[in-house]
Amino acid sequence: MEKFEILSEALDYIEENLGRGVTPEECAAKCCYSLSNMQKMFRCVFHIGISDYISRRRITMAARELIETDSTVLDIAVKYGYNSHEVFTRAFTRLWGVTPASFRKTSGFSEIYPKLGRNDRLFDGKGNEIMSSKIRFDVSHLYDFIKERRGKYAVCFDMCHLMYINDTFGSTAGDAAIAECLRRIDKAAGEDMLLVRVGGDEFVLITDFADRSDAEKTAQRVLDLNGGTIKCGDKEFEVSMRAGFVVIPESGNIRYNELFDSFIIAGRPME
């Protein structure tokens, strides 16, 4: 089995078994691959450890259920492999910065770590199949929503200095900073808007605004919070974002891969 098929099968297996506490060992066994090689290959291609990816996907799916269902926090915790309410709350709070109960009351966004998609097949100079190191997310379910917003504005955000935060304060602090960005954007969003994370530190808010000034007002509510600090453990640091704007094409075929690339470019500062 080639690397492409191995990682594709691992991603599918993880997603199909999140509700029962899937482990890296099980993924490796399912793919008939050694655990050490699976771990190295997963990190090399996706730039995240397989254990971390599983943990973050479990929390993401649990967050979705907190928003979309009436299940108790304990029932959701058990469903996603946590053996107690307390263990789940600690894991959830580390990632989101709030308890599951508070999240359910205040948040409208859950996809902090979307499912990784299957990458395109790439070949080296000798014709051997390799994997791209670029992470791609499964965004096909957004297509209809985007088409309904033809001619409307998307507000694109780029977080400042995530690498510095990760390097200085650790990846847990980086996760907390990402969650803070999402909270700020989510708070400014209207009920008819859709918030999507399109990259490690890049986000887009798809609005129903045809007037740019309305989109700018929404963005400004988020940017007014720039420089505000958050705490992660005993560490405190600033979180800031930049913003840009894209109009969703009114005519022609919308290729969402190209569109999402335009979101990412719009959110970044001009050189």
- Residues 1-28 have pLDDT tens digits of 566 678 888 888 998 888 777 889 999 8
Candidates 178, 182, 165, 159; CA nearest to 235 is 165
Amino acid, res. 79: K
The domain that holds 48 is classified in CATH as 1.10.10.60
Confirm if 3 and 131 have CB atoms less than 8 A apart.
yes
Count the domains in the chain: 2
Confidence at 224, pLDDT banded by 50, 70, 90: very high
Q: Is 262 inside any structural domain? A: yes
Residues 169 and 244 in one domain: yes
Separation CA 253–CA 124 (nearest Å): 32
131 belongs to a structural domain: no
Whether 123 maps to a domain, the answer reads no
Residues 176-212 pLDDT 10s: 898 899 889 988 988 788 888 877 788 889 899 999 9
Each residue's pLDDT tens digit, 110-169: 677 777 764 433 333 333 443 343 334 445 556 677 778 889 999 999 999 998 998 899
Return the pLDDT at 97. 79
pLDDT recorded at residue 122: 34
With beta carbons less than 8 A apart as the criterion, state whether 109 and 191 touch.
Answer: no
Q: How far is CA 188 from CA 54, 78, 86, 265, in A?
A: 30, 33, 31, 22
**Could you tell me which residues come within 8 angstroms of residue 244 by beta carbon, excluding any fewer than 6 positions away?**
155, 156, 158, 265, 266, 267, 268
169, 255: one domain: yes
For residue 28, tell me if it sits in a domain. Answer: yes
**Residue 31 pLDDT more than 60?**
yes
- CATH classification of the domain holding 194: 3.30.70.270
- What's the pTM? 0.62
Same structural domain, 20 and 80: yes
Residue 9 lies in a domain: yes
Do 97 and 177 lie in one domain? The reply is no
Assigned domain for 246 exists? yes
Q: Quick: pLDDT tens for 56-111.
A: 888 888 888 998 899 999 999 988 888 888 999 988 888 787 889 988 888 777 67
* Same domain assignment for residues 149 and 256: yes
Q: What domain range is 89 assigned to?
A: 3-106
Residue 34 has pLDDT above 60, yes or no: yes
Residue 116 lies in a domain: no
pLDDT of 223 over the 70 cut: yes
Tell me, yes or no, whether 113 lies in a domain. Answer: no
- Residue 229 has what pLDDT? 92
